[in-house]
Structure 1
């Protein structure tokens, strides 16, 4: 049996509560030039949006909508903070 560390358990907890876990994952990974509107709408009502964005920034996620932001928006945020 594999034991989850505390960070892993916390990570799994917020992911299970995320609204995206209950919807079509394709909305969060649109084709290049595709609309991000639906994914961002779902994110706007999600209780773990901040945790999701923190995860994406900490793990340098390069694709998809995370925490309500596209990869380009996350890159811009990283530059503004640096």
Structure 2
């Protein structure tokens, strides 16, 4: 039974990623070089319907690099500190 549950959760996780606007764009925009601009990625995130799911995923999985849910690594760190 737990195997079926795992499959359902996995396909649910994939579904938000498949609907993400970033899936249709250049992934390099979401992982800029140190000191590089995050503006292009954040602009794409602004209109994305799964922005909240993306941010939740990044926070839950301690993603340390890239733009997730419209926030940079530094912004996510600040958000985590405020939540504690």
TM normalised by structure 1 equals: 0.94
Structure with greater proportional helix content: 2
For residues 10 and 75 of structure 1, what CA distance do their matches in structure 2 show? Answer: 26
Aligned to 2:31: 29
Residue-pair matches, total = 80
Residue in structure 2 matching 1:65, options 59, 64, 67: 67
Aligned to 1:47: 49
For residues 24 and 47 of structure 2, what CA distance do their matches in structure 1 show? Answer: 13
Any unmatched runs of 5+ in structure 2?
none
TM normalised by structure 2 equals: 0.92
Any unmatched runs of 5+ in structure 1?
none
